[in-house]
Amino acid sequence: MFSRRRTGPSSSATSRSRTGLAAVMAAHVAGATTIVAVDVDVGRLGLARDLGATHLVDPGRVEDLTGALRAVDERGLEYVLDTSGRAENLDAGVGALAPMGRFGFVAFHEGAGAVLDAGRLTLGQSLQGIIQGDAVSSLLINDLAQLYREGRFPIDRLLSFYDFADINTAFEDAGSGRVTKAVLRFTAPG
């Protein structure tokens, strides 16, 4: 989940998946001053702090995720980005929105069970499905590469490399959360 305040330099972000770590980096690069990472994995929370998160929330250690998010800013979060696709995060994220706040999601799929009473969006909040960052790829890739070269978008901190022969291990490690992003290496024959 990711949130950025429109009215000033403060921002907030929350993340509960490995993809969310890139959202934390993006919030940091965008100048967010408050970035909230949400994850059940202590290692990923530590990495999120290293990547720019200013607040960390482990939903397994709080009774009320919405309340924990609102404790960061009682007015609510301007933007929330959910990268997990977990139905309970829709409810918590919308509950944490400020008036006129926006909830973006990248991973909900048919059958996820994510249902929302539209009456909960009565203060001008909105929901938006996002694909590929809603960006122009030919521009975004160049910008990300430049940010990486400048040391401002350390995507390499999220990568673990595997030889193609270890594809099953890569899938197992990625699926279990032992690694953030599994990258397969192909070796040219000969």
Angle between helices 42-50 and 20-29 (to 10 degrees): 20
Backbone angles phi, psi at 67, to 5 degrees: -60, -40
How many Cβ atoms are within 10 Å of 115's Cβ, its own excluded? 8
| Residue 80 CB neighbour total at 10 angstroms | 32
pLDDT of residue 12: 45
**Per-residue pLDDT tens digits of the chain, which is 190 residues long:** 444 443 333 344 444 445 689 999 999 999 988 899 999 888 889 999 999 999 999 999 999 999 999 999 989 999 888 888 888 888 899 999 999 999 988 877 777 788 888 888 889 999 998 887 778 888 888 999 999 999 999 999 999 999 999 999 999 998 888 888 999 999 887 7
> d(Cα 150, Cα 175) in Å, to the nearest integer?
31
pLDDT of 7: 36
Please give the DSSP secondary-structure letter assigned to residue 15: -
**pLDDT for position 8:** 37
Give the per-residue pLDDT at 19.
63
| Sign for the pseudo-dihedral over CA of 60, 157, 106, 185 | negative
